[in-house]
């Protein structure tokens, strides 16, 4: 079974990586799919995010990294995936995630959404929190992969 793990990943955090590592044990292949057509204004370009994710998942042989535009279910169908993988952190995620899962189910009845509960130590973690901490020079090495921490430090040192 192929699973798609869709998201913005701006940038990937250790919470995302935890979901990828646990997900690849459950599925034959996990495709980490970075959404291009988001309304959010991303900090990192899609190319940079792909590079960041590839670097920190290179030890996982059944993980592929790609970008997509349009609907997640269409991308899933294109890749013959049966599952959309998502992490659930706290109760506040639940409403949005459930809405997305139901919407995707109406768009394609054959594709299931599977949620993994985020590991406790990352349950508070989000890409936006990490960016805020990095912006003010706070410690982020325990929150994101090394290569991402480097990219964030570089970005904010150039006085953005
Ligand atoms: O990391 P994010 O920003 O929480 O990920 C959200 C994402 C990319 C999974 C979601 O916005 C998405 O699937 N967008 C693609 C458009 C789509 O399929 N919309 C219908 C389902 S809500």
Tokens linked to 59: 């030890």
Split the chain (160 residues) into runs of 10 and give each run's mean pLDDT.
98 97 98 88 96 98 97 98 95 91 97 96 94 96 97 87
Q: How many CB atoms lie under 10 A from the CB of residue 19? A: 24
Query: Which residue segment(s) compose the domain that 41 sits in?
Result: 2-159
Ligand 1 touching residue 11 (CB < 6 A): no
Asked whether the beta carbons of 16 and 87 are under 8 A apart, the reply is yes
**Residue 22 CA, ligand 1 centroid: distance in Å:** 21
Query: What's the domain count of the chain?
Result: 1
Q: What is the CATH number of the domain that holds 50?
A: 3.40.50.620
End-to-end CA gap in the chain: 42
Told to judge if 127 belongs to the known catalytic residues of this protein, a careful annotator would answer yes
Residue 130: per-residue pLDDT: 97
Contact 76, 84 (CB under 8 A): yes
Pocket lining: 13 vs ligand 1, CB cutoff 6 Å:
no
User: Ligand 1 pocket test: which of 86, 100, 114 has the largest number of ligand atoms within 8 Å of its C-beta?
Assistant: 100
d(CA 8, CA 145): 16
- Model pTM? 0.96
98-117 confidence digits (pLDDT tens): 999 999 999 999 999 999 99
Report the candidate in 120, 36, 32 with the shortest Cα–Cα distance to residue 84: 32
């Amino acid at each position: 079974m192929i699973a798609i793990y869709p998201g913005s990943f701006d940038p990937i955090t250790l919470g995302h990586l935890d979901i990828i590592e646990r997900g690849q044990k459950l599925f034959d292949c996990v495709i980490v799919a970075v959404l291009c057509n988001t309304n959010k204004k991303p900090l990192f370009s899609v190319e940079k995010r792909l590079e960041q994710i590839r670097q920190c998942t290179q030890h996982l042989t059944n993980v592929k990294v790609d970008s997509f535009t349009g609907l997640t279910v269409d991308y899933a169908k294109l890749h013959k995936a049966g599952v959309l993988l998502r992490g659930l952190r706290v109760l506040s995620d639940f409403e949005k995630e459930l809405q997305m899962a139901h919407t995707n189910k109406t768009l394609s009845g054959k594709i299931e959404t599977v949620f993994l509960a985020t590991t406790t130590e990352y349950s508070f973690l989000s890409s936006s929190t990490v960016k805020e901490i990095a912006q003010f020079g706070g410690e982020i090495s325990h929150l994101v992969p090394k290569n991402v921490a480097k990219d964030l430090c570089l970005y904010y040192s150039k006085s953005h």
